[in-house]
Structure 1
Amino acid sequence: MTKTISFCRATFRVESPTSVAAATLPIKNAVDLRLDRDASGAIHIPPSTFAGSLRNHATRVHGEAWTNSLFGFVADEDDGSETKARASSVWFLDSSVTHAKVEQYVATAISRHTGAAKLGTRRDSERLLAGATVSLDLRIDERLDDLIELVTTWRPVVGRNRSNGYGELAVERVDYGSVDLGTPEGLAQWLSHSGPDLVSEVVRAHSATVAEASNEAQAIDLQMQVVEPWTSDPVKDEGEDGHKTYRLKTNADGLPRMSAASQRGVLRSSISFILTTLESPLRCRGEACEHDRWECRVFGHGGAADGVGRRSALTFRESPIVDGVSAFRTRNAIDRFTGGAARGALWRTEVVTEGMVHLRIEYRSVSDADWQILLAALRLVIVDIQDGFVRFGAAVASGHGRFSVTTSTTGDPDADLMTLLAARTLLSPKDEVSAP
């Protein structure tokens, strides 16, 4: 019986910041969330990270039965007498990252009560910037054509912070080939190479055509204009005169950027405040919540009583401020005892005084009922943004971060309040029972 072994190498382009964190213990004065690295110190994305993403893609395209036949399954009999299992036909062998650029950044959680940074949640993290190249090696002994068809139409999302637009990869190239161990040439190839070198040798044979990527997500768009100075996540820099200077962080094009996490935190806090004001059963009840309510389904949560969390159904993206005008504002700390200026506490902060920013909220797995509630809540938030009650960025208590919404795709604002109040009819029976 002739044995044929096939390999496939998929090459991806990193399209958004990616964070696959290492499982390390916290170290004082060190980065809290470091990127995973291999023994040589190079950035590493474990092959197992891709396994779930490819299986989910197969399920969406071909259904669960087809997917189980290729990727295996574990299932219990109805009477619990035995467990049936089948191993996956696809082996995830190795992955590598090249042209990697790593950025260290600071983030905090957003308090749902104040809408500002939550005390004690500051963390330093690392992320792999867009533009890197990732290669993934796969092995399959049967159904090579099925695997190639899957990989060429795949658009994986890996790592953490996916609701902030992280971890998006695009397939650039798919190479594949087979080794026939029944021939002298194939046997020599098999015995004279090993590991990634063997895959490189075999996949030279063929290259598949990559399908054009399609974005299945729908989106809400908000176009906002800076009304009062905005600043966020500044970088500390000692000025020429010795005074502390905080400069804006910029993207690869040199434009100031509003982080996705900031957008998500502020908008969720604002919606939660509205739901609480209306005494709505849709709101998350914090530690007392069973995490089965609308807010938990749409925005996700960190874990219920069983410790299992839920990823947000929404995706926010980092937004550059375009046509911006920046300036430095000089400030001085106030002495709490004298009420005068504190000695040696002068600093400068770079702010954006003019500009436009485009916020985009993508959604993939939101039901029609949940979607209508989200639109209604966002329309109310837009009113608060226009009135200056909802602000973005740092120093909002000092009058910073006010924007004006110039255009939005949330629809007619006349039915905002009525739609939200009528949301009780859109709840599941479990929500109705748990409603206060």
Structure 2
Amino acid sequence: MTTHATAAHTTNHAMGVIHILQADLELTGPAAVAAPEAHTVASSLRPDLPLARDGWGNPCLPATSLTGSLRHHAAPHRRRALFGDVYKTPAAKQQDDDGDGGETIAIASPVRVLGTRLTLPDAPPAERRRTAVDRHRAAALATSLHSRELLPPGTELTLWLRIDTTATSSPLVDEVIALLAAWRPRIGGGRTTGYGRAELITVRHRTIDLTTPDGLRHWLTHGGPALVDDHATVVHDRAQTAGGAPDEPHLFGRALHFRIADALHIGSGTRTERPGRRSGPAQILRDHENTPLVPGTTWKGLLRARVEFILRSTGIGDVCASVRDGAPGSCGTCMVCEAFGFSERPRTPADSTPPPDTAGARGHLLFADSPIRDATVRVRNHVALDRVFGGARDEALFAEETAEDGHLTLHIRHDKPVPDLVRAALVLALADLADGTLGIGGATTRGYGTLTAEPATADWLTAQHTPAVNTLRTHTPPAGPAPQETRA
């Protein structure tokens, strides 16, 4: 196989013009940027997925993460011209199919990513724990508890780009600036559960003309971030831009509003320290502003389980059970895996189903964190009872924090089309949530986790219920054996 590389759009750097672009971004939510080499065996002092860090132990963000995001943001027909590519000619593809090898073309990127820098706010990196829930027992799945370290909201990220041209004005530079101005990156993992949301603050452009004494002196006597000095021009400013870059659209064209009907407990995995006692109350999850929180992971897991249950109960197609003891997990091929994404699960020797073609895929639905507004946080005490004497069992008293009387907003967005059947089942799942049939968080069998829809959301769910049922009925196969699924 032969390979040819072309340095497209390159110039004689010794006598050209160097354009340095500095893009400043801010995280508007937590971000999980973990590197493969950082994945270690966790302990009580170390999360399963720690943040990627540099040689000095500071959190860092590889420039490749932002390069991929910016490339994906560009129009498909411009990605090769802006960011290079490695591809095979049609004739080469046919030759490879025949086993004869072929020609590979490599095009260098005219846009160079020089590096990144993170600046954390006063808040340190946070840690979140999460677990999967067994679909049949409706309880935590064994050995599924894990934690990950997160960058806090308000973290500032600086990205430097370099473009070499033959003139001080260049259509290529103007195109990259316009691309940055319309960019709303999602950084790191967990994008479908609200992680990594960021906004562009400013873009500065510094032109260094190497054919002039001043430009050459600046290039030779400065380096790194100092190349972008007071002579740089601000070509984009968030404060002067109305609206900013567009966000992903809501799946139903609106956000959904709920209130807590009783009490809600979503644990953080930690307990309050109490002097002289073995352990304090189990704490609820809070965000960086100390506000009680329903994380995007909870919304995604809860609604996916209910959508799976609804579609299996109606007998529409083959829908997998993504979490189940002794089962292979996500199939990677059904409509639910397409909408919610999937990851490869351990397979049992007795499993005869073919494995997915890939190790996993990101879903099309995006679930954001939901801060609980105007909530009253209280500590509720509980005790186990002695089954023989009927009284309180010794040393069985425990306490937990709960959020009561609060309001929260559910944002379900999408970046690709979602199957109509999944969309209809999701409407019915939300209706079950609003009716109290479906609870959220822990202790739903003893009075916790009931939500009620606000009037506007309740009216919308009522109006959407019949069309959703009709969509499922239209696609339901002819009557056959009754479905065996009886529990969510």
TM-score class, shorter-chain normalisation, is: 0.7 to 0.9
2:35 alignment partner, one of 10, 22, 46: 22
1:350 alignment partner, one of 401, 412, 428: 401
Q: Give the Cα–Cα distance (whole angstroms) in 2 for the partners of residues 392 and 285 of structure 1.
A: 19
Q: Does the 8 Å CA contact 1:19/1:159 hold for their aligned counterparts?
A: yes
1:40 aligns with 2:42: no
| RMSD over equivalenced CA pairs, Å | 2.5
Which amino acid is 2:35 matched to? A
Q: Give the Cα–Cα distance (whole angstroms) in 2 for the partners of residues 216 and 196 of structure 1.
A: 32
CA separation of 1:385 and 1:169: change in aligned 2, threshold 3 A: closer
* Cross-structure match for 1:164: 193
**Mean CA deviation greater in 276-285 or 46-55:** 276-285
2:178 alignment partner, one of 133, 144, 149: 149
Q: Give the Cα–Cα distance (whole angstroms) in 2 for the partners of residues 315 and 113 of structure 1.
A: 25
State the 1:417 CA deviation: 2.7
Matches within 5 A, 1:51-62: 51-59=67-75
1:248 alignment partner, one of 273, 280, 284: 284
Which amino acid is 1:351 matched to? T
State the 1:263 CA deviation: 0.9
Q: Give the Cα–Cα distance (whole angstroms) in 2 for the partners of residues 134 and 289 of structure 1.
A: 35
Q: Give the Cα–Cα distance (whole angstroms) in 2 for the partners of residues 21 and 420 of structure 1.
A: 40
Q: Give the Cα–Cα distance (whole angstroms) in 1 for the partners of residues 135 and 453 of structure 2.
A: 22
Identity of aligned residues (%): 29
Which amino acid is 1:277 matched to? S
* Cross-structure match for 1:200: 228
Q: Does the 8 Å CA contact 2:250/2:411 hold for their aligned counterparts?
A: no
Which amino acid is 1:232 matched to? I
* Cross-structure match for 1:84: 105
Which amino acid is 1:316 matched to? F
Matches within 5 A, 1:307-346: 307-334=358-385, 341-346=392-397
Runs of 5+ consecutive residues of structure 2 not aligned to the other structure: 1-11, 93-101, 166-171, 323-327, 345-354, 478-488
CA separation of 1:185 and 1:218: change in aligned 2, threshold 3 A: same
State the 1:365 CA deviation: 0.7
Matches within 5 A, 1:108-187: 108-142=131-165, 143-187=172-216
Runs of 5+ consecutive residues of structure 1 not aligned to the other structure: 426-436
State the 1:288 CA deviation: 7.6
State the 1:240 CA deviation: 5.3
Which amino acid is 1:205 matched to? A
**Mean CA deviation greater in 119-128 or 402-411:** 402-411
Which amino acid is 1:98 matched to? T
TM-score of the two chains, using structure 2 as the length reference: 0.79
* Cross-structure match for 2:340: 299
CA separation of 1:85 and 1:276: change in aligned 2, threshold 3 A: same
* Cross-structure match for 1:430: none
Indicate the SS of the match to 2:342.
coil
* Cross-structure match for 2:480: none
State the 1:301 CA deviation: 0.7
Indicate the SS of the match to 2:90.
coil
State the 1:153 CA deviation: 1.8
State the 1:183 CA deviation: 2.7
1:262 aligns with 2:262: no
1:414 aligns with 2:427: no
State the 1:120 CA deviation: 1.0
State the 1:338 CA deviation: 7.1
* Cross-structure match for 1:280: 316
1:209 aligns with 2:236: yes
Q: Does the 8 Å CA contact 2:153/2:288 hold for their aligned counterparts?
A: no
1:225 alignment partner, one of 259, 283, 306: 259
* Cross-structure match for 2:482: none
CA separation of 1:288 and 1:232: change in aligned 2, threshold 3 A: closer
Q: Deviations over 1:18-73 (max 9, x none)?
A: 110132242342211111111122221111110111111112xxxx2322111112
State the 1:306 CA deviation: 3.4
Indicate the SS of the match to 2:175.
helix
Indicate the SS of the match to 1:377.
helix
1:395 alignment partner, one of 433, 443, 453: 443
